[in-house]
Structure 1
Amino acid sequence: MSVDRRPTVLFVCVHNAGRSQMAAGYLRALSDGRVEVLSAGSEPRDQINPVAVQAMAEEGIDIADQVPKILTVDAVQESDAVITMGCGDTCPIFPGKRYEDWELEDPAGKDLDTVRRVRDDIRGRVTALLAELLPTSV
């Protein structure tokens, strides 16, 4: 029986403090380790948005220990799918990679109800992405 390599997904937003961290948290939780999950930002903040942490905790997913990271060419090169969320042209493009741009409201500075809406939108998109990446196991 052969062991297939796990797909790698990179979530990218400007600050790597809200949307991309929530998406990464969901994919880690929902994939049960079957997908390698990365996240980064073109202009990372110094900490995760505390309202995003709170909204994800309501779902039983702890992202409080995550640290915003700068987007690197290496992270893009090692990823099978790159999901951008409002970072525009700052994400390098490499042939043969799957790219998607998810238009999501930026939760920075927003209240908990708004962040919950963004979180729920992200969950639906991550669930659909996971079904495409691992079609026989969802």
Structure 2
Amino acid sequence: MLKENDAERRKVNADTWHAAGYTGKDVTVVCIDDKSAPHAHMVYAESPFLDPGEEVGHGTNVAQCVHEMAPDVRVVLVQSNDEGRQWIRDHADDIDIIYVSRSAGRPLAEHSYSFLDDLDITVVCSSGNDEDDRVNFPSRFPWRAGLSN
């Protein structure tokens, strides 16, 4: 974990949870994003399609945050494309949580993320930060949180 994040972990009592044994051991979190690879120091994270440090994006930063909260978790960065979606289908039995960091308009979100509805995996989505008051897709899908369109 990064020393620079010590104060933030203390603010949310993460260190207390870690000391109690809640460290993410045996948990796999998949971060779906667009071409985000782990930094070379992120030995707890992997990307089946990109070499470490090849492209640093939002998913890379999310992976670091996941690690800070659950230092023993396995983090997999998967691209938001056909290859990444197929990887998720092929490994669904080994995935505990999927995080989608890319919000999109409904047609693109349906194309990219509707397959997640068929999986028995907890899905966490960003709700959007596009300077408006509405929740974006894929968070708006009814299968996500019982929201109506």
Give the alignment's TM-score, normalised by structure 1: 0.44
Q: Work out which of the two has the higher radius of gyration on C-alpha atoms and give 1 or 2.
A: 2
Greater relative contact order structure (CA < 8 Å, 6+ sep)? 1
